[in-house]
A and B are shown apart, each in its own frame.
Chain A
């Protein structure tokens, strides 16, 4: 690898037209900048040289001679500043990038990659920091964090993101002191390091926001400084063992653009330099560590999600096309006589099915990142509540659909908070009850029969049936709990406005949350159940479908139209006898089945379908419901069969249609509409839904 000196020497022998050599030089400089082989204060300059060299090397520079002169001047400045004899540059070079704007000549693609990678790195370091708290001597964990901060620092400097780079440098320095055992990783240090992680996240978000606001060079390219930046940046280098930093936490998500602190001073005392040099000497070892860590994980490629979704769409289409070919009558005749052809068709079908499985699997992501966020939450909430809590996780490698992982995040946060606040006792109470002082929360994920099971268990005081029932009666949710099973009583805590916390804390207990939990989980067709043993703890079991993309549906016919009714909404179908039907108030119709009276929903009227059966006793009633509201009886002509369908939107061009959840490609290649049953019933009951009968077209 070239050193900086070599690079400059090389440049002296070149001219603007030596494009191959200039490209080599650019590579070398890039390695230097990324590898942190050059001091941090000249890194922006090296990065700038690389940027100018880009167009020069590929021949797209407008004025090669001028660009070449630029590179020479920049590298000269680099040598002056990094030369062994020269004092640290006092006079700032005018070319220094401004702290809080995106550089004008930024490579947007590169920046996006940087954001993705840095966020991963920062998330990994958060997990490592939490691990470190349990085992302060875990050198590998320290290294993980150190590497992540270091990479952010180097790449940010390379991209000209001076603020981010400077902050990552401070964070890295703190970890360097831990690594060299200059300071212990105590509580105060952990707090500070985690705050630094939050701040890095906030800074990365700010870059992302600026990028979204208008991109480099535009007025929107200004970076908002997250709240609390100045205090934290100042606290990092000053940290001394045993000190507990009294800092406000970094606002978690999307920090409001805080008033920018003008010119935060860069704390760069001489001692820092010494430290950094030591860090550099160790670089060799670190590199090897990096390589080892990398080899453990399977090589992966990042793919844009819209491309992935498109691939899944196309594979779905391929499956349909293939089944159309295989089911074609003309082919069926030929297959009977041509065994070779039959074999080929079967082979193609096998490949297509395998491809479908694979494409579905590509949408799956492990739950690990979701669990990691919860680990951090447990730590922070426990500290706030003054409780001693240990979080155990299992099955974090369990994979779920990408959208599902997003949706379950919030409910899990609420449930974990609830378990810590209400479920677990204080250490003193636990001791009095003869339990270990330290409470235990277990989060386990597993695959169970075509669905994903998430179980959150605490070993706290358990739910009190009496208290829940009393509260429910007070709130008017219930007249009496007589005849209800425990599980049914426990479900009451999911009712809107229900809260049993004796006092409202800022962690939970405001009565919001648990009802949202249930709603969110049900929005992805999941279920949540509670089991509890008084004095021994509570378990929340969340069962989720493996994927949102595939819906089990019943294909029904109404007139000439076909609709898909999700199986989860269907209780049963039957052909009613005329006597079971009744009109109410000359307007609504009801049907009575086994003592249950339900409104009849005439789908053909709601949807204006021509040619549908008018007489229910000549058609079918399908009892539908979502398990919350009253059940309804949907009038359909015929059941066409059960089918798995891939749910899709109706296209961006159409507004959302009430009563329709989406579309699905049916076996014949046509689109079938998937019904939104709860919405449909609400529409029917509101009475506004009936469309004029269409002309029999």
Chain B
């Protein structure tokens, strides 16, 4: 439940990685509740654009966020094959120090669970990525056998989905 500890704490660990366009992102595995298939989302009016709406998760209503929209990426133009790979990752976000709420994020496709050592995490450069640096824990390099490890953008999901920001935007709207 600690979000502020990310600066000091070792940034390594296990990450669930996924793709948005051709960039690979990671979210701490401990924050992930489950992965569910894409399903019809009920739009909620008068919310920021990156709020896709709400779905029914076994009797509970949970909000679904669009990370592409959040990061200012163009809307996906996926063919049928690629669209079938899209899914929703349900993460548990610290809405307040003592409150954890489930939220879903729509991703293009889920990749793998990668173990990334602390020493393989570097500070994010302040340019180059579509994502604001404040949303990132850092850049993770995974070591592959062939030495061709790709860089993964490790998300600080609590900040990406910071609820006070959501509320602020929603209130501006009215």
A and B held together in a complex: yes
- Interface on A for B, CB 8 Å cutoff? 313-314, 316-317, 561, 606-609, 648-660, 663, 665, 669-673, 683, 688-689, 691
Question: Which residues on the A side are within 8 Å of B132 (C-beta)?
Answer: none
State A665–B39 Cα separation when bound (angstroms): 14
B6 at the interface (CB under 8 A from A): no
Q: Are the C-beta atoms of A657 and B56 separated by less than 8 Å?
A: no
Contact B60–A691 (Cβ < 8 Å): no
Which residue of B40, B62, B170 contacts A657 across the interface (Cβ within 8 Å)?
B170
- Which of B44, B51, B163 neighbours the largest number of chain A CB atoms within 10 Å of its CB? B44
- Nearest chain A residue, comparing its CB with the CB of B62: A651
Smallest CB–CB gap between B90 and chain A, Å?
11
> B21-29, B96-104, B114-122: which lies at the A interface?
B96-104
Question: Binary interface profile of B, 155-170, with partner A (CB < 8 Å = 1, else 0)?
Answer: 0000001010011001
Q: Which A residues are CB-close (under 8 A) to B102?
A: 651, 653
A647 to chain B, nearest CB (A): 10
User: Cβ of A654 and Cβ of B42 under 8 Å apart?
Assistant: no
Contact B51 A660 (CB under 8 A): no
The answer to whether B45 touches A670 (Cβ under 8 A) is: no
Instruction: Assess the A606–B45 pair: CB atoms within 8 A.
Output: yes
The CA-CA distance from A414 to B17 in the complex, in Å, is 58
CA distance A648 to B102 in the complex (A): 15
Smallest CB gap from A683: residue in B: B174
Chain B residues near A689: list those with CB within 8 A: 174
Q: Which of A650, A655, A658, A659 contacts B61 (CB 8 A)?
A: A650
The one of B54, B58, B170, B174 that contacts A688, using a Cβ cutoff of 8 Å: B174
Residue among A316, A649, A652, A689 with the highest chain B CB neighbour number at 10 A = A652
The 10 closest A-B pairs by CB, nearest first: A607-B45, A317-B59, A655-B167, A313-B59, A655-B170, A652-B101, A671-B42, A663-B61, A653-B63, A653-B103
- One of B40, B43, B60 near A651 (C-beta < 8 A): B60
Contact residues, B75-112 vs A (CB, 8 A): 93, 95, 99, 101-103
Q: Does B171 contact A (CB under 8 A)?
A: yes
The reply to whether B58 and A654 contact each other, CB–CB distance below 8 Å, is no
Cα-based distance from A654 to B47 in the complex (angstroms): 8
Residues on A with beta carbons closer than 8 Å to the beta carbon of B60: 313, 648, 651
Known: A653-B161, A691-B45. A671 touches B56 (CB 8 A): yes
**Most A CB within 10 A of own CB, among B53, B167, B174:** B174
Give Cα distance in the complex from A608 to B58, angstroms: 28
Name the contact of A607 in the complex, choosing from B46, B61, B99, B170 (C-beta under 8 A).
B46
- Cα A316 to Cα B102 in complex, Å, equals 20
Q: How far is the CA of A128 from the CA of B103 in the complex (A)?
A: 49
Distance to closest chain B CB from A333 (angstroms) = 26
List of B residues within 8 angstroms of A606 by Cβ: 45
B55 adjacent to chain A (CB < 8 Å): yes
Name A670's closest neighbour in chain B (CB-CB).
B40
Report how far A688 CA is from B172 CA in the complex, Å.
Answer: 12
Chain B interface size, as a band, is 20 to 34
Residue of A nearest to B58 (CB): A317
11 contacts between A and B (CB under 8 A): A313-B58, A650-B63, A651-B60, A651-B62, A651-B102, A652-B163, A653-B93, A658-B46, A665-B56, A673-B42, A683-B174
Residues of the B chain whose Cβ atoms lie less than 8 Å from the Cβ of A691 = 45-46
Q: How far is the CB of A188 from chain B (nearest CB, A)?
A: 46
Nearest CB in chain B: distance from A154 CB, A = 33
Determine the chain B residues whose CB is within 8 A of the CB of A313 once the complex forms.
58-60
A653 with B95: in contact, given A607-B46, A659-B46, A665-B59 (CB under 8 Å)?
A: yes
Is the pair B45, A651 in contact by a Cβ cutoff of 8 Å?
A: no
Q: Would B170 and A660 count as touching, CB distance under 8 A?
A: no
| Interchain CA distance A651-B170 in the complex, whole Å | 14
* Cα A619 to Cα B51 with chains together (Å): 29
CA distance A313 to B171 in the complex (A): 29
**CA A672 – CA B55 in complex, angstroms?**
9
Q: Shortest CB–CB separation between residue A359 and chain B, in angstroms?
A: 11
Which chain B residue has the least Cβ–Cβ distance from A646? B59
Closest chain-B Cβ to A696's Cβ sits at a distance in Å of: 14
Nearest A residue to B101 via CB reads: A652
Residues of A within 8 A of B47 (CB): 654-655, 657
Beyond A650-B54, A652-B95, A653-B102: 7 further Cβ-contacts under 8 Å? A561-B42, A609-B45, A651-B101, A654-B166, A655-B166, A665-B56, A669-B56
Question: Contact at B44–A654, with CB atoms within 8 Å?
Answer: yes
Q: Is there contact, CB below 8 Å, between A672 and B42?
A: yes
Chain A nearest Cβ from B157, distance in angstroms: 12
Q: Is the CB of A654 within 8 A of B43?
A: no
Q: Is the CB of A660 within 8 A of B62?
A: no
CA distance A609 to B47 in the complex (A): 13
Q: Which residues of chain B are near A653, meaning CB under 8 Å?
A: 62-63, 93, 95, 101-103, 161, 163, 166
Alpha-carbon gap, A607 to B46, bound state (A)? 7
CB-nearest residue of chain A relative to B40?
A670
Shortest Cβ distance from residue A555 to the other chain B in the assembled complex, whole angstroms: 13
Residue on A nearest B166 in the bound complex, by CB:
A655
**B45 A671 Cβ-Cβ under 8 A:** no
If the complex has contacts A648-B61, A653-B93, are A671 and B54 also in contact, measured as CB distance less than 8 A? yes
Check if A657 sits within 8 Å of B45, measured CB to CB. yes
CB contacts (< 8 Å) of B54 on chain A: these are 650-651, 654, 663, 671
B27 CB, nearest partner CB in chain A, Å: 15
Contact between chains at A660 and B44 (CB < 8 Å): yes
- Bound together, the chains give a CA A505 to CA B44 distance in angstroms of 49
Closest-CB distance, B171 to chain A (whole angstroms): 6
Give every chain B residue within 8 A of A648 (Cβ-Cβ): 60-61
Measured CB to CB, the closest approach of chain B to A339, in angstroms, equals 32
User: Could you say which residues of chain A place their CB within 8 Å of the CB of B44?
Assistant: 650, 654, 657, 660, 673
Chain A residues contacting B59 (CB-CB under 8 Å) are 313-314, 316-317, 665
Distance of A608 Cα from B51 Cα, bound (Å): 14
Residues of B within 8 A of A314 (CB): 58-59
> CA of A672 to CA of B56 in the docked complex: distance in angstroms?
10
A656 surroundings in chain B (CB, below 8 A): 170
- B58 / chain A contacts, CB cutoff of 8 Å: 313-314, 317
Contact of A654 among B56, B170, B174 (CB under 8 A): B170
Q: Which of A316, A561, A649, A665 contacts B43 (CB 8 A)?
A: A561
